[in-house]
Structure 1
Amino acid sequence: MKALVYNGPCDVRVQNMPDARIERHTDALVRITRTNICGSDLHMYEGRTDMKPGRILGHENVGEVIEVGRAVDGVKVGDMVSVPFNIGCGFCENCERGLCNYCLTTNPGLAGAAYGFADMGPYHGGQAELLRVPYADYNCLILPRDASEKQNDYVMLSDIFPTGFHATEMAQLCAGESVVIYGAGPVGLMAALSATVKGASLVMVVDTHKDRLALAEQIGAVAIDDSEGGGIERVMELTGGRGADCGCECVGYQCCNMRHEEVPNLTMNNLVHAVKFTGRIGCVGVFVPQDPNAKEKLQRRGQMAFDFGMFWFKGQKLGTGQCPVKAYNRYLSRLIEQEKVKPSWIVSHELPLEQAPEAYRNFDERKEGWTKITLKPNG
């Protein structure tokens, strides 16, 4: 099969790889029809993780089931399915609690497994023609009949739409409240969409990329351009000096200041100041235990200078971690089916798999207009 393979920092190539196949009776084999490039993929692409060469990338996948193991009951050949980036077993303590993001059996020695991701098990990703899905009855979300016509919407269910929603859940956003979202990348835009669906009275999105901020404005969010600073002041102005009721961090440890220098603590500390006393913050941007190629000593150890004193003084709450996709994807799927939301509004490029290396370069350089890329491995 053709697949996008990581060969080292900034070196990904479409290569012929052994076909994915059924390995256990609980597996399904999926022919991938859409797979996205995620901002999280860029951490690995840049060599900022311990991703091993020879791995197939891709954890945002949708496709058609073409084979199932003998123990698979609910998923059938011909089903169109969304595959959560989390790989859960369904029977461990955490999966039973709905925390498929921290499954205790699929990545022995750690908690949590994913497709094509550093430190999250040996599983190949779905930027390929075929994908093996373990524990298929648990991990596959069977999509409605309109899935073929709305693939660019339903592929968002595998990660970024639930992750954006999760940010608002951890921030405990309620109808009528205000929220400030740092980051207008795909996850930040999905957090803004989720906040709108949940009835937020004011959705503010802070970023330095004007093309992304323009997408936030299309769904009624207030775009705050922080390219010259002043973002916190603008939030205070819009909230009468109180600060937002809650906030979402949707950037992660490679966030940059206005001079395009990496400042890992920038968005977290800005949120502490932009969110009101007793407010809540949900952090879904990726932060890692170690970053060996970082410039600063704290960064290399996965640490940062967090403004904990002000955080404590303001009595704020913080939720962190990867999204348990299965907690949300079925319900978000119904919003797409009933045309209440159309998350594909952020898609800037639909490309064949062969153009994935070029797409990675452009996305990594944050070229204007390259907001969200979906690949079509099977035409």
Structure 2
Amino acid sequence: MKAIVYNGPRQVNVEEVPDARIERPTDVLVRITTTNICGSDLHMYEGRTDFETGRVLGHENLGEVVEVGPAVDRVRVGDVVCIPFNISCGFCANCEKGLTAYCLTTNPEPGMAGAAYGFADMGPYNGGQAELLRVPYGDFNCLVLPDDAKEKQNDYVMLADIWPTGWHATQLAQVEAGDSVVIYGAGPVGLMAAYSATFKSASKVMVVDRHPDRLAKAEEIGAIAIDDSRTSPVDQVMELTDGLGADRGCECVGYQAHDPQGHEHPNMTLNNLVKSVKFTGTIGVVGVFVPSDPGSPDDLFKQGEIAFDYGMFWFKGQKIGNGQCNVKHYNRQLRTLIHEGKARPSWVVSHELNLDDAPDGYEHFDRRDLGWTKVVLHPGELS
């Protein structure tokens, strides 16, 4: 099968690799028709993780079931499914609590919890930027889609990661109706957090970034665009909130946050949120941070540590929630919003490419080229 293979920093290629196949009785085999390039793929693309060369990328996947293992009971050949990026068993202590991002059985690395497709340090599984994908524990991990899946697949594929993750950011931040919310980062996840905040009837949604195309996307859903290259984003938030700060804040950038001059500061968005959010406010962090980053220009973060403004955080009585999204906790309800015509998360999509064009897509998306807000790949078509 064709697949997108990582061959080193900024080197991804379309290659022929062995077909994905059923390996265990509980597996489902999916012919991928829609798969996304995610912002977190760029950490691996840029060589900032220990992702092994020769592995297939891709954790935002949708397609048609072509084969099921003999122990699969619910999922049927011909079903169109969206697959959470979390690979979870459904029966461990964490999965039973709904904490599927921290499955205790699917990552064979000792002392680790949580697995994902085509992702560094999250198990040995290949990704779905390919023609076929093996889905372990298919009955548990496949979200079967309604009969409008073919015409809405660019919407439904967002249920694999970015919309549930954006929703998770607002859940961690405890966004409620009437709240003012500031979101740092207008990449796809930040835009989905803004989208989610509007669904929760936030009174004011502010999105901080400096890329004009991304800020324009935020404005399309009624968010207030804050360009941090013009003046301090904290000052702009305070001005928009009568000097009080936002009720809630979301971090959707992660450890490769850059200032307007292009210098990397892994603590920048976290500390700006402490300053931007009111006394007793709440912060949700879904941007990726890692236990160590030898490639970081920041000496502390080489060891996975950051200079966090804990004194001010404590003094303001704020709360913070963080971690990867438990996709299955949200994807069914969000699927219903799409099916009933209440939501169209594909509004973030800027480019649809064939699998063969993925290397160009990675290059443009990694450079944040104007207009490249979200890239969808189509290895095949739904029947």
TM-score bracket, normalised by the shorter chain, equals: over 0.9
| 1:220 pairs with 2:222 | yes
Q: CA deviation at 1:170?
A: 0.2
Q: Is the 1:98–1:326 Cα contact (8 Å) retained in structure 2? A: yes
One-letter amino acid of the counterpart of residue 211, structure 1: D
Report the equivalent of 2:341. Answer: 339
Q: Is the 2:266–2:298 Cα contact (8 Å) retained in structure 1? A: no
Instruction: Give the secondary structure class of the aligned counterpart of 1:29.
Output: strand
C-alpha distance in structure 2 between counterparts of 1:119 and 1:265, whole Å: 22
Out of 124, 132, 135, the residue aligned to residue 134 of structure 2 is 132
| 1:64 pairs with 2:64 | yes
Q: CA deviation at 1:304?
A: 1.1
Q: Is the 2:182–2:205 Cα contact (8 Å) retained in structure 1? A: yes
Q: CA deviation at 1:296?
A: 2.5
| 1:375 pairs with 2:364 | no
C-alpha distance in structure 1 between counterparts of 2:176 and 2:37, whole Å: 31
Q: Is the 1:29–1:68 Cα contact (8 Å) retained in structure 2? A: yes
Report the equivalent of 1:196. Answer: 198
C-alpha distance in structure 2 between counterparts of 1:366 and 1:260, whole Å: 12
Instruction: Give the secondary structure class of the aligned counterpart of 1:375.
Output: strand
Q: TM-score, normalised by structure 2?
A: 0.98
Q: Which runs of 4+ in 1 moved over 3 A?
A: none
Q: CA deviation at 1:227?
A: 1.0
Q: Is the 2:265–2:298 Cα contact (8 Å) retained in structure 1? A: no
Out of 292, 310, 313, the residue aligned to residue 312 of structure 2 is 310
One-letter amino acid of the counterpart of residue 176, structure 1: G
Q: CA deviation at 1:61?
A: 0.2
Out of 236, 240, 253, the residue aligned to residue 238 of structure 2 is 236
Q: CA deviation at 1:30?
A: 0.2
C-alpha distance in structure 2 between counterparts of 1:341 and 1:262, whole Å: 35
Unaligned 5+ segments in structure 1 are none
Report the equivalent of 2:326. Answer: 324
Q: Is the 2:26–2:138 Cα contact (8 Å) retained in structure 1? A: yes
Q: CA deviation at 1:234?
A: 1.2
Q: Is the 2:264–2:297 Cα contact (8 Å) retained in structure 1? A: no
Instruction: Tell me whether 163-172 or 336-345 shows the greater mean CA deviation.
Output: 336-345
What are the equivalent positions in structure 2 for 1:356-375 lying under 5 Å apart?
Answer: 356-375=358-377
Report the equivalent of 1:101. Answer: 101
1:247-276 CA distances to partner (integer Å, 9 max, x unpaired)? 000000001001011111110000000000
Q: Is the 1:229–1:258 Cα contact (8 Å) retained in structure 2? A: no
Q: CA RMSD in A?
A: 0.6
What are the equivalent positions in structure 2 for 1:154-233 lying under 5 Å apart?
Answer: 154-233=156-235
1:222-245 CA distances to partner (integer Å, 9 max, x unpaired)? 111111232111111111111000
C-alpha distance in structure 2 between counterparts of 1:190 and 1:262, whole Å: 24
C-alpha distance in structure 1 between counterparts of 2:378 and 2:347, whole Å: 17
One-letter amino acid of the counterpart of residue 347, structure 1: V
Q: TM-score, normalised by structure 1?
A: 0.99
C-alpha distance in structure 2 between counterparts of 1:247 and 1:24, whole Å: 43
Report the equivalent of 2:74. Answer: 74
C-alpha distance in structure 2 between counterparts of 1:240 and 1:15, whole Å: 55
Report the equivalent of 1:246. Answer: 248
C-alpha distance in structure 2 between counterparts of 1:137 and 1:205, whole Å: 38
Report the equivalent of 1:151. Answer: 153
Instruction: Give the secondary structure class of the aligned counterpart of 1:39.
Output: coil
Report the equivalent of 1:51. Answer: 51
Report the equivalent of 2:292. Answer: 290
Instruction: Give the secondary structure class of the aligned counterpart of 2:148.
Output: helix
Q: CA deviation at 1:67?
A: 0.4
One-letter amino acid of the counterpart of residue 367, structure 2: E
C-alpha distance in structure 1 between counterparts of 2:173 and 2:296, whole Å: 29
Report the equivalent of 1:119. Answer: 121
One-letter amino acid of the counterpart of residue 145, structure 1: D
One-letter amino acid of the counterpart of residue 172, structure 1: Q
1:79-133 CA distances to partner (integer Å, 9 max, x unpaired)? 0000000000000000000000000000022100000000000000000000000
C-alpha distance in structure 1 between counterparts of 2:341 and 2:185, whole Å: 25
